[in-house]
Amino acid sequence: MAKKITPRSKDYSRWYTDVIQRAEMADYAPVKGCMVIRPYGYALWENIKEGLDRRFKATGHVNAYFPLFIPQSFIQKEAEHVAGFSPELAVVTHGGGKKLEEPLIVRPTSETVIGHMYSQWVRSYRDLPLLINQWANVVRWEKRPRLFLRTTEFLWQEGHTAHATAEEAEEETLLMLEVYRDFAETDAAIPVITGRKSESEKFAGAVASYAIEAMMGNRWALQAGTSHFLGQNFARAFDIKYLDRNNELQYCWTTSWGVSTRMVGAVVMVHGDDQGLILPPKLAPIQLIIIPIWTGEEEKEQVWKAVADIKAALGEKVRYKVDDREEYSPGWKFNEWEMRGVPLRLEIGPRDVAEGRVTLARREGGEKLTAPLAPQSWGEGGEQEGLAQRLHDLLDDIQQSLFQRAKSFLDENSFEVDDYEEFKRIIERDGGFVYAYWCGSGKCEAAIKEDTKATIRCIPFHQKERAGRCILCGKEAGEQAVFARAY
């Protein structure tokens, strides 16, 4: 299996595509720029959804669904929004065999249609805040598609909220950014940088945009989630008003925020290696693969009795699968499940049964160890050490180990520079995140991008107390920005 995967050092892009396809996560669709998400990839996305959805509901949000088709006039109501999205729009001009009176836009994002509905639903301050999320597909015509990272159609969630005050809306924007940070680091084991997007990088129609930025295995950046403070721009465009406590009519303040299937790509690129996927246990569709090993019928009966005991001990505490295919050798199965990134492998053969133990192998690091076969056993200190507990502890350790490994990689490849020639050497040689002072000028930002292909990923929240000088023009600057090449 691994021999079919291009080494990362040889061609990182090819490696990424090889892993996605060999692990049967996704494949190319007959429509250019689109993908088919296969069951294994979709199971990973479902676990991402569950982790996020649980957090959304815990913060008071509810799910709804809005139409796929949006009247063209809606898109045109917010000038900056239409200008930002026009090159990416898919437009329906005919339906039912007839030309439509008004063209319909295939949903690129839902601020406009949701804004229209909010204007119908909001009447009083008693109706606020309105906290709604939807899980949906969107279409943005993509010129350079890449599985999970950039496709013409992709899956995501988009939250849209309306508030009585700017302060409440800004608080919501940052709250959801923190939800994304917590999910990325806790569930996906991906360390991220949180910060504000530059004016040129912000969402079309937003007052301010914030993002979590992650470093991939080739030291490029990936915007893994965004949260936008929309001010009153969409409220004014769609007449979202409410009567306040003084019985005066006011425009609402709105937000939007989203994470997409590119998070699947992030998990692949942050943790994967030349053997294939390495999945964090909290998101892995299969946390434990059980591989029975035997040669004769008598051994088979003993081993399968032990497997039945293992399954009874695990119950629903661990997401496991038993690979009972007899047409493949144990070695072939080891390689396949390693390539698919299953965090733990459990091997059980006649000798293991005789000795009352199982052999475990970690996908991350490759370490092999043993655990008691008995559902309940006792350690030297009197602590309970049953198989299920042992597996649970190992999965927790793997989760933390993956995060620390990714955090070390991020730290080792983040640089603070004040010399532009050094800045260029880092970006062009090995890549990474470069922290440099920036004067805030769009001209400097554009010139750096033209010269190095590096963009401002964000202006991080945590800033030094002292001022500095712009990395390009030398003017005094109050903030550092994070520059990197990005997907």
pLDDT in tens, 263-313: 999 999 999 999 999 999 999 999 999 999 999 888 999 999 999 999 998
DSSP 113: H
pLDDT at 374: 74
User: Per residue in 26-63, pLDDT tens?
Assistant: 999 999 999 999 999 999 999 999 999 999 999 999 99
Q: Which CATH superfamily includes the segment(s) 414-484?
A: C-terminal domain of ProRS (3.30.110.30)
User: Which of 176, 161, 186 is closest to 211 using CA atoms?
Assistant: 176
Report pLDDT digits (tens) over 346-379.
999 999 999 999 999 999 999 999 988 876 544 4
| Neighbouring C-beta atoms of residue 396, cutoff 10 Å | 12
pLDDT at 382 over 70: no
Q: Which CATH class is domain 288-408?
A: alpha beta
Give 3-state DSSP helix, strand, coil % of the chain, rounded to 5. 35, 30, 35
Q: What share of the chain in percent tops pLDDT 70?
A: 96
pLDDT at 383 over 60: no
Checking if the pLDDT of 203 tops 50, the result is yes
| Cα gap 451→447, rounded to integer Å | 6
Identical fold between 288-408 and 414-484? no
Among residues 154, 256, 167, 239, the alpha carbon closest in space to that of 204 is found at: 256
* pLDDT score at 379: 47
Instruction: Compute the distance between CA of residue 176 and CA of residue 44 in angstroms, rounded to an integer.
Output: 22
CB atoms inside a 10 Å sphere around CB 482: 21
Instruction: Please tell me the distance from the alpha carbon of residue 49 to that of residue 236, in angstroms, as a whole number.
Output: 32
Confidence (pLDDT) at 377: 46
With 0.85 as the threshold, say if the pTM is over it.
yes
The one-letter amino acid code at 444 reads C
The domain limits of the chain are 2-271, 288-408, 414-484
271, 273, 334, 18: CA torsion to nearest 10: 100
Q: Is the pLDDT of residue 421 over 60?
A: yes
Query: Residue 384: what pLDDT?
Result: 47
- Kindly indicate whether the domain formed by 2-271 is annotated with CATH number 3.30.930.10: yes
What are the structure tokens assigned to 97, written together?
């065999």
Question: Residue 182's pLDDT band (boundaries 50, 70, 90)?
Answer: very high
The 10s digit of each residue's pLDDT in 434-476 is 999 999 999 999 999 999 999 999 999 999 889 999 999 999 9
Q: Using the predicted structure, report yes or no on whether residue 387 has a pLDDT greater than 90.
A: no
Mean pLDDT of 178-204: 97
pLDDT at 372: 87
Sequence-ordered list of residues with C-beta below 8 angstroms from that of 153, at least 6 positions apart, any chain = 33, 34, 35, 137, 138, 139
What's the mean pLDDT when you consider all of the chain? 94
